[in-house]
Structure 1
Amino acid sequence: MTGTDERTSAESPEPGGYAAARLRLLTEGARTGPPRRAALAELTDDWLAGLFTAGAGRPRGISGISLVAVGGYGRGELSPRSDLDLLLLHDGSDPTAVAALADRLWYPVWDLGLDLDHSVRTLAEARRTAGEDLKVQLGLLDARHLAGDLGLTAGLRTAVLADWRNQAPKRLPELKELCDERAERQGELRFLLEPDLKEARGGLRDATALRAVAASWLADAPREGLAEARRTLLDVRDALHLSTGRATDRLALQEQDQVAAELGLLDADVLLRQVYEAAGIISYAADVTWREVGRVLRSRAVRPRLRAMLGGGKQVAERSPLAEGVVEQDGEVVLARAARPERDPVLPLRAAAAAAQAGLPLSPYAVRRLAAAARPLPTPWPAEAREELVTLLGSGRPTVEVWEALEAEGLISRLLPDWERVRCRPQRNAVHIWTVDRHLIETAVRAAALTRHVHRPDLLLVGALLHDIGKGWPGDHSVAGEIIAKDVATRIGFDAEDAAVLATLVRHHLLLIDTATRRDLDDPATVRSVADAVGTQGTLELLHALTEADALATGPAAWSSWRGSLVADLVRRVGALLAGDLLDEPAPTAPTAEQERLAIEAFRTGGPVLALRARSEPVPAEETPGAPEPLGVELLIAVPDQSAVLPAVAGVLAVHRLTVRTAELRTLRLPQDVHGDGSVLLLDWRVAAEYGSLPEAARLRADLVRALDGSLDIGGRLAERDAAYPRRRGLLAPPPRVTVAPAASHHATVIEVRAQDAPGLLHRIGMALEKAGVRVRSMHVSTLGANAVDAFYVTTGAGEPLPEQDAGSVARALEETLRAP
């Protein structure tokens, strides 16, 4: 019979034979990547075709019915755990026979434990369903004949493609909305520590959407590197399926090393970098393609009216000049007709700066031409090039899209060779929400909003771009970055004095935030150490702005009004010292009226007094105007000076499932003439309820009284809770680290603790310090994502700093305590 497929044998292969052949194919190392996916698809094709033929009768008796692969299987891309997307297409003449054949096809697949997405439809039903369900229509675009009536399958493909092209003006906006919703839900693949290779933006779904756009003939994606990027993600998904034995698309942290080994890569960081690079290519292609779709659809909507106005004359796109050799055309920045990139080495930066300043995208064709023809800049750069770079960095949010366009064609690494080491580099830190390269650009965006606060905006913006440039090198990234930044600054044309300032900014970009949140600002040694490192008022001003921009660009856990106020206080003190004021023995910071009231009450009653107060801070206007950002609740506690206060308070909070976000402790000595000779420990903490609402202040105080007098077994309560509700421990969490900060204070020994945050952590630290026989004079505790970063100022019982040997012993003992399970 004409129009039928006779390539399969009449006898159905045994499921066991297919399963054994499939297992051999997946476990042999000779074929990987596209060859293995194609071989797996071919093996499955032959098996399903055999099932079809055996179920339908002799091949020449097959007419009016066909078996069709759709979706990923239709593209011939079967990963080890991919599901099978199948359509049994028929002409409607014999529904009973079709139903019987479906059973003979689906049940063997299910018996083997394979996931199956199946449907049985006539051609008219398939077209109608596709018209109602965009996802069905996308799957049918990749329809591929497996067995049966070849003419029926060909008719389906022809009809579906024709419908898709005819309906493109309506369906493509729907597809764009679907992609945007998925991106909002799943995030950007290239910035996630545990990305979904399929659903996240820049993943396999987006690559499939680009194929659909191309099939519409309305627009097409940039082809450079797109096929290779898609192949990379498919290869990683294959390795993920094989290493986990599951049909998963999420690349979890605990599985990344195993997947990297499966692919023959050095480690998980190399794996993530390859994934991020592939996702970046797909994301950029999607941006360009959807922009072109929008332009074409707008053009189609406007063209009939223009033709009527122009009497049928030909429309000419208007070109508006933006800079020398750079014009705007149809909502994009393109090169002027007279532009000669081969003679104008500054043109790439000039075009990028003009686009960012205008808030317009750079045409991909313009960027490609610049990458192909532009001459390299001389060393050092001419002043115009440096100024255009500063203009680009100072343009705010539009800088990101323009920078990514330059990166897509390799122009950034050509302009700044050191960029290559940080490009797509992952940051295994829950506080950071961006890769290193994107974080640097985000910092420049944040710094652009602070340029009015500094005397040298150009140094602030370039410092923001370079502050983490050392993360591509071994060792302390600030130390490595200082050398790189000085070299880059000289290369792009800054004089020696400015290059030294930029090197200082990079070397000390963490100095202010670390010092303000982990050191006692009343200690003269703290202020002097910062002043010595910074050197001048101008550098201090730049470092202050860079600190805020860096923290804001890191993530929501890295900055708050509280941290900002601490940094501002430190900057004020350091600025005074640099201006010539003496800070040998400054008066301690005066308590607030409420703190003094609580301290007097605690001294009078001889017991703890506490107050709970909700706190919040406004969200920056450029983000989400309106609702304030919750900071939890401020918990103020005053306790007559005595031993074991820290572990008691921390333990009570842990028992009540309160998470400590920030914590400070200091000793307040009351005036002798008013209150007698005595001192009170004052604790100012920010807490939040782990589940539900906050407990009543009275309950907290009652339990604190019991904890202080020893009648509340905090350790036992916490142990019972942990036994009843075991927690998953981070498999990749680094071990805790406890160090002594030498010369950080003249009045106390500073012990720093960095550990994975966990319920009861502060209680364990307090108990260990109490056991060591040291006195906690003050402390500065903060939680950054999953990391606790704490500093404890401790003294002997006589109030003196610990001897060096004793300090080391305390630090080692504390670290051993925290490492213990």
Structure 2
Amino acid sequence: MTGTNVHKDAEDSGPSGYAAARLRLLTEGVRSGPPRRAALAELTDEWLAGLFAAGAEDLKGVSLVAVGGYGRGELSPRSDLDLLLLHDGADGKAVAALADRLWYPVWDLGLALDHSVRTPAEARRTAGEDLKVQLGLLDARHLAGDLGLTAGLRTSVLADWRNQAPKRLPELQELCAERAERQGELQYLLEPDLKEARGGLRDATALRAVAASWLADAPREGLDDARRRLLDVRDALHLATGRATDRLALQEQDQVAAELGLLDADTLLRQVYEAARVISYASDVTWREVGRVLRSRAVRPRLRAMLGGGKPVAERSPLAEGVVEQDGEVVLARAARPERDPVLPLRAAAAAAQAGLPLSLHAVRRLAATVRPLPTPWPAEAREQLVTLLGSGRPTVEVWEALEAEGLITQLLPDWERVRCRPQRNAVHIWTVDRHLIETAVRASEFTRRVSRPDLLLVAALLHDIGKGWPGDHSVAGEIIAKDVAARVGFDRADVTVLSCLVRHHLLLIETATRRDLEDPATVRSVADAVGSQSTLELLHALTEADALATGPAAWSSWRGSLVADLVKRVAAVLAGDEPEEPAAAAPTAEQERLAIEAIATGSPVLSLHAQTEPPAEDRPADDPEPLGVELLIAVPDQAGVLPAVAGVLAVHRLTVRTAELRALELPAGVEGSVLLLNWRVAAEYGSLPQAARLRADLVRALDGSLDIGGRLAERDAAYPRRRGVVAPPSRVTVASAASRHATVIEVRAQDAPGLLFRIGQALEDEGLHVRSMHVSTLGANAVDAFYVTGADGAPLPADEAASVTRKLEETLRA
């Protein structure tokens, strides 16, 4: 249907005609994007102008004005209509009647309406009191009525804005900062608010307001396109949901991507992130310029008086060859020749990061436009400047983003393009892949005194996830890329080998420490064989901690840190020549022996909680999300079903299991019977720990069958909070070959949920397996648990039996 026919239907049929024409426009009319938004605004303009003409009749001194997004002619399918009925104050009753004739048809159609009725003086006064009103009036557009009245208001509002800019712009900047703190950064959020988050549509509008002040202007290159892309996504979101929402929720992303003709939700998010990054960077540059201008306005009169009326000369302080500081920014020296100095971008960036200053926009753009590519391999100075940049701590982030905004990073490191703005669909990760790599370098800079080769640590931090842009295991792909990048950057063959090893095994320590039995010599030996040397182990330990800290608060804790440190100590001993010994059966402690004897005497479980093993809150970091927990000792007369019963009772009482060990205990001479000892470390999911007597009573009932654990957990599971419409990936069960000589290690990766350990324990029990120990780990919504199991004969399972168990366990978890 043509735009002309759409408009004709609206004119012929009144409100119902407008509604029909609007529907046709959104479903089968003009293509999506700016043309459709403009067509929808034009259609709405004509409808409202018709309503105004029918209601105004001979009324003079009145006009209808579109403000805000509607004033800019950018109507998304579910956008509010922001309208101002402007009048000269002559006939209040007639103006009120006209307002009713305008607003009620809009409400009748179910359209959202933000309306006001004011004189020009009232509009100006309200704008002076409310910054948001003033921003809306900056985009005022005449729809109908007295054109001179509208033009007069626009002229006055713009004049007020420019005259008051030194006062209002800091207010606007503060408003943007508060919103960013509240909503987060659009370029990193998995469910971003396209309008309110930093780098979103509100910030784009703020940049327009700064430009209208004539005080400063945003870097224009790519800005309009970024804003258009966010508006296109919002249009598709409105059509997909049928609601006026700006939140790009996970369950809508596939449909929005399809609406836009994109490959998948990841492609959609990447485009959103790229647009947000452009707007965020433009905002940083613009607000920096606003601050500079305002400072110079305050200082200039005094300087001119001191200099006798002459023009002050900006002071320039040398920072490095070809690089100087001027007016709080890092700029190129007058004698700098980027076209002859390929190391200059890295030198300028390193100098800026070391000084804690931003790179000026002009300097970065000049470098991007004129600098020659570095030779391969890089000269030593280029490599040293890269390491200096990476080791500068928090200022590295802003400087790196400035280089990336102008394409200099991908010129230096072409492989960076695959990870740039790449989303990570994992609740544990709070950054995109590229920002995570920079955050890891920032964290690693804190550990450079712990290692003998800080340069290798920093470069490994930058590259450890570089394989996430490729198919398959990112560690394997990353090893290949790291070899190429390290050689190109100019590291020698030995250093290239170390860097590729660090990238290949950057998850080795954390995964082994949290999922394997560290008492098993095979575990320690496998890590030692992979690492190869003490110096590499030292680097890998620091990289592991930096990586986890840069991932997010759920990825590192004092508990995980202690496990990794224990593993590193054991591996270091092996690398020093000490072979790990086969662990001897630990003699029971006096308390364990007491519990065992009591369990035999009573014929029922006996337990104790040792809360004193929990470090005091004041001794733990304030941001430690995962305390060590408390020790739970349980002695049970040997019988079937102990593991699922204990796991189920703990789940019912909302206790999280950190580690778990289950073994048969040898009793003192003269004591007949067999006792299972469970030594678990647990923590309360909510509130405080339950009393030991209550746990024991429920455990007794679970073992004799009078407590329906499955039913209780099913009720909990029905009420367990899940994201609507989000389908978790299927559970995966594998056998870790060669992980232990004494048991078969079955690893389970599944969606965390109440009673998961109970279900796994029940399934293993049904297969007649004995669980020697468990190592559980929860990362966000994902559980990764390892079970050391043996058959009834106490030996590891044959390969075919182990494969059968994994298949059955996967089927159980899918049910």
Please classify the TM superposition score into its range, dividing by the shorter chain length: over 0.9
Q: Determine helix, strand or coil for the equivalent of 1:558.
A: coil
> Structure 2 vs 1, CA of residues 8 and 774 (structure 1 numbering), >3 Å: closer, same or farther?
closer
Structural mapping, 1:166-177, within 5 Å: 166-177=163-174
> Structure 2 vs 1, CA of residues 677 and 579 (structure 1 numbering), >3 Å: closer, same or farther?
farther
One-letter amino acid of the counterpart of residue 610, structure 1: S
2:705 equivalent in structure 1: 710
Separation (CA, whole Å) in 2 of partners of 1:597 and 1:142: 80
Q: Is structure 2 residue 440 aligned with structure 1 residue 443?
A: yes
Maintained 8 Å contact 2:553/2:625:
no
Structural mapping, 1:480-495, within 5 Å: 480-495=477-492
Maintained 8 Å contact 2:140/2:154:
yes
Maintained 8 Å contact 2:37/2:76:
yes
Structural mapping, 1:364-383, within 5 Å: 364-383=361-380
Maintained 8 Å contact 1:650/1:760:
yes
Q: Is structure 2 residue 806 aligned with structure 1 residue 781?
A: no
Offset from partner CA, 1:310-336 (integer Å, 9 cap, x none): 333321111111100001111111111
Separation (CA, whole Å) in 1 of partners of 2:468 and 2:568: 26
Q: 2:691 aligns with which of 696, 703, 706?
A: 696
2:609 equivalent in structure 1: 611
Separation (CA, whole Å) in 1 of partners of 2:599 and 2:374: 69
1:747 equivalent in structure 2: 742
> Structure 2 vs 1, CA of residues 50 and 495 (structure 1 numbering), >3 Å: closer, same or farther?
same
| TM-score (ref. length: structure 2) | 0.95
In structure 2, stretches of 5+ residues that fail to align are 1-6
1:738 equivalent in structure 2: 733
> Structure 2 vs 1, CA of residues 512 and 588 (structure 1 numbering), >3 Å: closer, same or farther?
farther
> Structure 2 vs 1, CA of residues 547 and 721 (structure 1 numbering), >3 Å: closer, same or farther?
closer
How many Å apart are 1:739 and its aligned residue? 0.8
Separation (CA, whole Å) in 2 of partners of 1:662 and 1:12: 71
1:796 equivalent in structure 2: 791
Maintained 8 Å contact 2:9/2:17:
no
> Structure 2 vs 1, CA of residues 227 and 723 (structure 1 numbering), >3 Å: closer, same or farther?
closer
Q: Is structure 2 residue 395 aligned with structure 1 residue 398?
A: yes
One-letter amino acid of the counterpart of residue 183, structure 1: A
One-letter amino acid of the counterpart of residue 635, structure 2: V
1:121 equivalent in structure 2: 118
Number of residues of Structure 1 aligned to a counterpart in Structure 2: 806
Q: Is structure 2 residue 253 aligned with structure 1 residue 240?
A: no
> Structure 2 vs 1, CA of residues 730 and 273 (structure 1 numbering), >3 Å: closer, same or farther?
same
Q: Determine helix, strand or coil for the equivalent of 2:314.
A: coil
Separation (CA, whole Å) in 1 of partners of 2:140 and 2:80: 15
Maintained 8 Å contact 2:444/2:546:
yes
How many Å apart are 1:676 and its aligned residue? 8.2
* Aligned residues with identical type, % of pairs: 81
Q: Is structure 2 residue 524 aligned with structure 1 residue 522?
A: no
How many Å apart are 1:349 and its aligned residue? 0.2
How many Å apart are 1:668 and its aligned residue? 7.0
One-letter amino acid of the counterpart of residue 790, structure 2: T
1:53 equivalent in structure 2: 53
Maintained 8 Å contact 2:683/2:689:
no
Q: Is structure 2 residue 80 aligned with structure 1 residue 88?
A: no
2:751 equivalent in structure 1: 756
How many Å apart are 1:800 and its aligned residue? 0.8
Q: Is structure 2 residue 23 aligned with structure 1 residue 23?
A: yes
Q: 1:250 aligns with which of 242, 247, 255?
A: 247
Separation (CA, whole Å) in 1 of partners of 2:443 and 2:8: 63
Maintained 8 Å contact 2:465/2:478:
yes
Structural mapping, 1:381-530, within 5 Å: 381-530=378-527
Maintained 8 Å contact 1:522/1:589:
no
2:4 equivalent in structure 1: none
Q: 1:682 aligns with which of 645, 664, 678?
A: 678
Separation (CA, whole Å) in 1 of partners of 2:720 and 2:457: 49
Separation (CA, whole Å) in 2 of partners of 1:202 and 1:131: 26
1:296 equivalent in structure 2: 293
Q: Is structure 2 residue 674 aligned with structure 1 residue 665?
A: no
Separation (CA, whole Å) in 2 of partners of 1:581 and 1:12: 92
How many Å apart are 1:818 and its aligned residue? 0.5
Separation (CA, whole Å) in 1 of partners of 2:615 and 2:329: 42
Offset from partner CA, 1:105-148 (integer Å, 9 cap, x none): 00111111111011111111111111111111111111100000
> Structure 2 vs 1, CA of residues 620 and 151 (structure 1 numbering), >3 Å: closer, same or farther?
farther
How many Å apart are 1:190 and its aligned residue? 0.8
How many Å apart are 1:9 and its aligned residue? 14
Offset from partner CA, 1:253-295 (integer Å, 9 cap, x none): 1111111111111111111110100000000001111111111
Maintained 8 Å contact 2:285/2:361:
yes
Separation (CA, whole Å) in 2 of partners of 1:162 and 1:687: 63
Separation (CA, whole Å) in 2 of partners of 1:216 and 1:757: 53
Separation (CA, whole Å) in 1 of partners of 2:303 and 2:672: 90
Q: Determine helix, strand or coil for the equivalent of 1:528.
A: helix
Separation (CA, whole Å) in 1 of partners of 2:72 and 2:651: 54
Separation (CA, whole Å) in 2 of partners of 1:604 and 1:390: 67
* Bigger mean CA offset, 291-300 vs 413-422: 291-300
Q: Determine helix, strand or coil for the equivalent of 2:318.
A: strand
2:65 equivalent in structure 1: 68
Separation (CA, whole Å) in 2 of partners of 1:389 and 1:288: 23
Separation (CA, whole Å) in 2 of partners of 1:643 and 1:438: 50
Q: Determine helix, strand or coil for the equivalent of 1:236.
A: helix
How many Å apart are 1:687 and its aligned residue? 2.5
Separation (CA, whole Å) in 1 of partners of 2:586 and 2:33: 65
In structure 1, stretches of 5+ residues that fail to align are 1-6
How many Å apart are 1:772 and its aligned residue? 1.1
Instruction: State the superposition RMSD in angstroms.
Output: 2.5
Separation (CA, whole Å) in 2 of partners of 1:802 and 1:250: 50
* Bigger mean CA offset, 208-217 vs 345-354: 208-217
How many Å apart are 1:728 and its aligned residue? 5.2
2:3 equivalent in structure 1: none
* Bigger mean CA offset, 371-380 vs 598-607: 598-607
Separation (CA, whole Å) in 2 of partners of 1:706 and 1:790: 27
Maintained 8 Å contact 1:11/1:54:
no
How many Å apart are 1:305 and its aligned residue? 3.0
* Bigger mean CA offset, 589-598 vs 19-28: 589-598
Structural mapping, 1:270-285, within 5 Å: 270-285=267-282
| TM-score (ref. length: structure 1) | 0.94
Q: Is structure 2 residue 580 aligned with structure 1 residue 583?
A: yes
One-letter amino acid of the counterpart of residue 428, structure 2: V
> Structure 2 vs 1, CA of residues 262 and 626 (structure 1 numbering), >3 Å: closer, same or farther?
closer
Maintained 8 Å contact 1:196/1:249:
yes
Maintained 8 Å contact 1:520/1:526:
yes
* Bigger mean CA offset, 478-487 vs 577-586: 577-586
Separation (CA, whole Å) in 2 of partners of 1:218 and 1:648: 71
> Structure 2 vs 1, CA of residues 300 and 686 (structure 1 numbering), >3 Å: closer, same or farther?
farther
Structural mapping, 1:620-631, within 5 Å: 631=627
Maintained 8 Å contact 1:602/1:608:
yes
Offset from partner CA, 1:543-598 (integer Å, 9 cap, x none): 11111111111111111111111111111111111111011414468889987886
Separation (CA, whole Å) in 2 of partners of 1:725 and 1:670: 41
Separation (CA, whole Å) in 1 of partners of 2:65 and 2:563: 66
Q: Determine helix, strand or coil for the equivalent of 1:345.
A: coil
> Structure 2 vs 1, CA of residues 811 and 447 (structure 1 numbering), >3 Å: closer, same or farther?
same
